Structure 1
Amino acid sequence: MVDEKIIIASSASVALLIAYCFNCLWSAIFYIGLVRLLLFYSSVAHFINKFFIRKRLNLIKRYGDGSYALVTGGANGIGLEYAIQLAEAGFNIIILDLSDELLQKAKEKILEKAPKADVVMKVRNLCEMTKQEHYEEFMDEVKEYDISVLVNNAGVADYHQFHETTPASVSRTIQVNAIAVLGFTRMFYTKFMNREKKGGIINMASGVGLASNSLVPIYPSTKAFVKYLTEGLQEECKGKIDLLYIYPGAVTTSATAFRVAPDSTTPDVIARNALNSLGQDGYNAGYWLHDIFCSQVEAMFYCNRELYRFVEDAAVEKTGLGKDLRNIAKDQDKKNK
C-alpha cells in the first residue's frame, strides 16, 4: 500500500510543476507581446522621424563642393525633379535621356530653379547599351566631371499580360529597368569606392516590386531585381557609398497613362523624400502613404498568399486598373506599328 503522504506530496509536486509551466507560458506570452509592442512603437517613431521630423543631410558637403550628380531619364517626371532638387542643393547636373529636344527643355527648367548650376546633357538610348564597352565608353566621355551622385531613374513599363508580350518588349523592359541599372551601378560603384569623398547612388525600384503581380509580371520582376541588387551591395560599401533604393506607389506625372490613384503623389515629393533619406536610410517608399501601403502589401504577401491574391483581385476589380492597363497596352501597340 502506497503511503498516503507520498501520494499527497507527488500530487502537490505535479500541481506545482503545472502551475510553474503555466506561469512560464504566460510570462513568455507577456514578454513576447512586450517585445512586439516595443518594436511597433519603435517602427512608428522611425516612420514619423523619417517623413516628418528629421532634416536632410548637407549633401553637397558630404559628397564634395562643385561635384556633379548624374540622373538617367532626367528630362521629365521624377528624374527631372531629382535634377532640379540636386541643382538647388548645390550640385552641377548631368542629365541623360533620349533626345536633345527633351534634354534642352529639361535644362531650361533646371536653370530656372538653379541658375548657377552647370547642366550637361547626354543623349543615350539605354536599350542600346547592351555591352560592357558601352558603359566604359560613357565613363570615358564623362571622366572630366567629378561625379559624386548617381540616380538610376530611367525606366519603362510594358502593360501587356504575359501571353501578349513580345520578345522585343520584354527585352526592352529588362534592358532599361535592370541591365542598365546594373551597368551604371557597377561603373560608379567602382569609381566611388576609390573616390576620396563619399559617393551616393539612388536606384529607383517600385512598390509593385515588393510582391509578385499577376497583371504586369515583367515590370515588377525587374524592380524586384533593383531592390535585391541594392540590398546586396549596401553592407559591402558601408562607410564609403550611400546606397539607397526607392519603392514608390502611384506617381502622377504628365506621362501618367492611367487615371490617378487615390494614394498617388507627385514627382517632387518622391525626389524630396529620397534625397532626405540619402545617407540616412537604405530604402524609402518616397511618400508616407506609400510607406504604409507597401509595408502592408509586403507583409500580406509573405504571410498569407491566398489573402494577398484575394485583396489584389478585389482591388483590381474595384478600381478598374486591369482595364486601364489593357487600354494602355493597346495604345502602346498602335504607337509601335
Structure 2
Amino acid sequence: MNLSNQEKKRLKDKYGDWAVVTGASSGIGLELATQLAAAGFNLIINARNEERLLKVAQQLKSQNIEVKSVIADLSDKAGVEKMIQSTQGLQVGLLINNAGYGTSGLFVDASMDAEINLLRVNCESVLALSHFFAKKFKQQQRGGIIFLSSLVAFQGVPYAANYAASKAYIQSFAEALAVELKPFGIDVLAAAPGPVETEFGQRANMQMDNAMSPDQVGVSILAALGKRTNVVPGLLSKVLTYGLRTLPRSMKVKILEKVMAGFTKHQRSGAE
C-alpha cells in the first residue's frame, strides 16, 4: 500500500523538506521512512545497528533524495544530542518518534536496568526530541510530530506493565501537545497500532500471532497527520479498539491480561 500522489503532495507541501525518523531500520519506522522518501522528503534516519541503517539509507537514496544516517542509542543522552546536532542547518518540518521497545513477563522478575532503559528510550528521548523540534517548528510556524502510541496505552496491561505505562505516557503527552501546539501551525498525531510484525516481539520476548505487517499501517498514519490527532491504523487494530471501547476499564485490564499471557506463556510457565 502506498500514499496517493495527492497525499504525497499534501505532506511535502505542508512539512517538507526534511523529516526525522527514529528507529528507522526496520518495522513501522522503516515503512514510514520509505513512504516519506517516495513523497520526496529528505531524511535523517536513526537506529542503533550501523550496518542495517546504512543499508536502509542506500535503499532510500534510490528515490533521489538526501539521507543522513545517525547511528545512536536513544537511551543515552549523548545519543539524543547526536540526533539533534545532525539536523543543524536543515529545514526539518516533520519528526516521527518511532524508536521504542517493550519488555514482558512478571514485573517482579524483571531486570530493573532493562525497565529503566525502556523508559529512557520510550519516554525520555521522546520528551527531549519533541521539545527541541517543537521549539524549532514554533519559530517556523509549521511542522508535524507523530508519536507511536499503542493499543496497550489505554489501560493497564499485566505481563507488560512497564511497556504499557510508557505508551500511556506517550498517548497522554501527544494528546496534550496537539492542543498546545496547534496555534503555532504544528500538527501532532498519536498513532496507536495493535500487534505489528516487527522485531518488537523478539526483543520483548513475546510470540505475537495474527500481527499486521508494517505496510498495513504506515500509509494510514501519514494520511492522518494534519487531519486528526489520533489514529488507530489497520483493520485488526480497529476491531480490537472498538471491541474494548464500551467495557469498564477493569474488564479491559482482565482481557488484556489474557491476551498478554498468551503472548508470554513460554515465560510464565517457567515462573509458575
Question: Structure 2 length as normaliser, TM-score?
Answer: 0.87
C-alpha distance in 2 between matches for 1:312 and 1:204 = 19
Deviation at 1:268, TM superposition (A): 1.6
Structure 1 pair 313–59 and aligned structure 2 pair: CA distance change class (3 A): closer
Structure 1 pair 326–267 and aligned structure 2 pair: CA distance change class (3 A): farther
* Aligned ranges 1:26-105 → 2 under 5 Å: 56=7, 58-64=10-16, 67-105=17-55
Higher fraction of helix: 1
C-alpha distance in 2 between matches for 1:230 and 1:316 = 25
Q: SS at 2:40's partner residue?
A: coil
* Aligned ranges 1:162-241 → 2 under 5 Å: 162-196=107-141, 198-239=142-183, 240-241=185-186
Deviation at 1:294, TM superposition (A): 1.8
In the alignment, which residue of structure 2 is the partner of 1:333?
A: none
C-alpha distance in 2 between matches for 1:244 and 1:189 = 13
In the alignment, which residue of structure 2 is the partner of 1:300?
A: 247
What is the percentage of aligned positions where both structures have the same residue? 27
> Structure 1: 5+ residue runs without aligned partners?
1-54, 331-337
Q: 1:125 aligns with which of 61, 65, 73?
A: 73
C-alpha distance in 1 between matches for 2:267 and 2:193 = 18
In the alignment, which residue of structure 2 is the partner of 1:245?
A: 190
In the alignment, which residue of structure 2 is the partner of 1:321?
A: 263
Larger Rg belongs to:
1
Deviation at 1:315, TM superposition (A): 4.2
Structure 1 pair 250–143 and aligned structure 2 pair: CA distance change class (3 A): same
Q: Which amino acid aligns with 2:70?
A: K
> Structure 2: 5+ residue runs without aligned partners?
1-5
Deviation at 1:89, TM superposition (A): 0.8
Q: Which amino acid aligns with 1:107?
A: A
Structure 1 pair 243–98 and aligned structure 2 pair: CA distance change class (3 A): same
C-alpha distance in 2 between matches for 1:312 and 1:100 = 36
C-alpha distance in 1 between matches for 2:80 and 2:128 = 7
Detail structure 1 runs of 4+ shifted over 6 Å in the superposition.
none
Residues 285-294 or 77-86, more deviating = 285-294
CA deviation profile, 1:75-122 (whole Å, cap 9, x unmatched): 11111111110010110011011132121111123234x2x1111101
Structure 1 pair 135–97 and aligned structure 2 pair: CA distance change class (3 A): closer
Contact 2:44–2:68 at 8 Å: present in 1 too?
Answer: yes
Contact 1:211–1:301 at 8 Å: present in 2 too?
Answer: no
CA deviation profile, 1:143-202 (whole Å, cap 9, x unmatched): 121111100000011113110112201111100001111111111011101115x20100
Structure 1 pair 167–193 and aligned structure 2 pair: CA distance change class (3 A): same
Higher relative contact order (CA 8 A, sep 6+): 2
In the alignment, which residue of structure 2 is the partner of 1:39?
A: none
Q: 2:88 aligns with which of 115, 121, 143?
A: 143
C-alpha distance in 2 between matches for 1:81 and 1:174 = 24
C-alpha distance in 2 between matches for 1:62 and 1:135 = 26
Deviation at 1:274, TM superposition (A): 0.4
C-alpha distance in 1 between matches for 2:201 and 2:83 = 30
Matched, 1:272 2:219: yes
Count residues with an aligned counterpart: 262
Question: Structure 1 length as normaliser, TM-score?
Answer: 0.71
Deviation at 1:314, TM superposition (A): 4.7
Q: SS at 1:300's partner residue?
A: coil
C-alpha distance in 2 between matches for 1:279 and 1:244 = 8
Residues 308-317 or 198-207, more deviating = 308-317
In the alignment, which residue of structure 2 is the partner of 1:15?
A: none
In the alignment, which residue of structure 1 is the partner of 2:231?
A: 284
Q: Which amino acid aligns with 1:294?
A: T
